[in-house]
Amino acid sequence: MVVGRITSARRSAGRSPFAGTLQSYALLLVFGFFLGVAGTTFAVGIPFVNAWFEPARRGFATGVFGAGMGGTALSAFFTPRLVRSIGYLPTHLFIAGALIVVGAVLWLTMRDSPAWKPNLAPVVPKLTAAAKLPLTWQMSFLYAVVFGGFVAFSTYLPTYLRNVYEFGLTGAGTRTAGFAIAAVVARPVGGIVADKIGPRKVVAISLAGAAVMSLIIALRLPPEIPAGTSFVVMALFLGLGTGGVFAWVAELAPAERVGAITGIVGACGGLGGFFPPLVMGATYNEAAHSYTIGLVLLTITASGALLFTLFGIRRKAPAIT
């Protein structure tokens, strides 16, 4: 199953440059769909990891697993350099080859936990049952804020750095890689700390920190150290939150629903990363080179999510009917 999804990613990675060459947005959407299918391995991986660990260690386990989002850092750092050195199409073919290797390694080395049992129920009823749980949408909202914030910054930060600080493409990509690495390091830390003090507190700390850091970033601190530090601290808070949310899912979700719930939560996290770049672009003040409005809106969103975390979520998941 994993190899099938990796193969889909290979096909998308190998063909998507043709969409750019042909300037076909429709073709890009088609290949993006197959890449999205490969991305569902995240929903597969959470229950896979959960089955190997006792509940008290699942925050750590899911946090380490989620550190795989470090691929964003690798992409931000290496892709511009590869394109410059070997060209656009060869870079995509290189990525496709790397995915084939990863798929082969997983196929040969991974095995299911002895405690795992297959759930042979039809997919649609499982998703419907998961969608009926308030827990699913509560975690989806929080993940859309913290992981969506990470995705949005990772996607839009090169543009932000070029517009505000006038960095070149390679320089902006390098600094974006640093942002992503900080979030990746913080994610397993969030899971580990959630095992110690509880995921609610970790998520609350994450959201409070993100709200404050958005305002600090809006001040347009001078480069390199003041501005760079502010972005790294923002990444650390967002990374803590991503680890905390999935530790919370592992704590509250019934074992037989973990896969379906994490699939929905993960999808909402991706959607959460889709909207902020649109907002940042729409509210950008070109004359002043300022993204203040967008960053203030992020502060408001994070503050609302913080209040919801503290007062809007019950401590125990409701029973499934």
Q: Can you list the alpha helix ranges (DSSP code H) found in 253-283?
A: 258-283
Which segment of 59-68, 190-199, 207-216 scores lowest on mean pLDDT? 59-68
Residue 59 maps to a domain: no
Query: Is residue 319 in a domain?
Result: no
The whole-number average pLDDT for the span 10-34 is: 66
Domain of residue 227, CATH code: 1.20.1250.20
pLDDT of the residue at 209: 96
Range of the domain at 199: 123-311
More confident residue, 6 or 139: 139
Give the pLDDT score at 302. 95
Using a 10 angstrom Cβ sphere, with 0-12 exposed, 13-18 middle and 19 or more buried, the burial of residue 78 is middle
Q: How far apart are CA 82 and CA 60, in angstroms?
A: 34
The predicted pLDDT at position 16 comes to 52
Question: What is the pLDDT at residue 6?
Answer: 37
CA torsion angle for 98, 103, 105, 108 (degrees, to 10)? -160
Beta bridge partners of residue 285, listed in sequence order: 290
* Residues across the chain: 321
> What is the tens place of the pLDDT at every residue in 146-161?
988 888 888 888 888 9
Q: Which residue do the tokens 């699913």 mark?
A: 136
Q: Of the given ranges (55-64, 214-223, 260-269, 272-281), which has the lowest mean pLDDT?
A: 55-64
Contact 203, 241 (CB under 8 A): yes
- With beta carbons less than 8 A apart as the criterion, state whether 231 and 161 touch: no
CB under 8 Å to 292, separation ≥6 — which residues?
218, 285
**Backbone conformation region of residue 42, classed left if phi is above 0, alpha if psi is from -120 to 50, else beta:** alpha
Mean pLDDT over the full length of the chain: 81
pLDDT at 200 over 70: yes
Residue at 163 is within a domain: yes
Can you tell me whether residue 204 is helix, strand or coil? helix
pLDDT at res. 2: 38
Cα 206 from Cα 245, distance rounded (Å): 10
From 33-47, 94-108, 187-201, the region with the lowest mean pLDDT:
33-47
Give the model's pLDDT for residue 316: 55
Q: How many domains does the chain have?
A: 1
The answer, yes or no, to whether residue 11 has pLDDT greater than 50, is no
Does residue 44 lie in a domain region?
A: no
Q: Give residue 318's pLDDT.
A: 46
User: 71-107, pLDDT tens digit by residue?
Assistant: 766 776 788 788 888 887 888 888 888 888 988 998 8
Determine the Cα–Cα distance for residues 89 and 11; give it in Å rounded to an integer.
Answer: 13
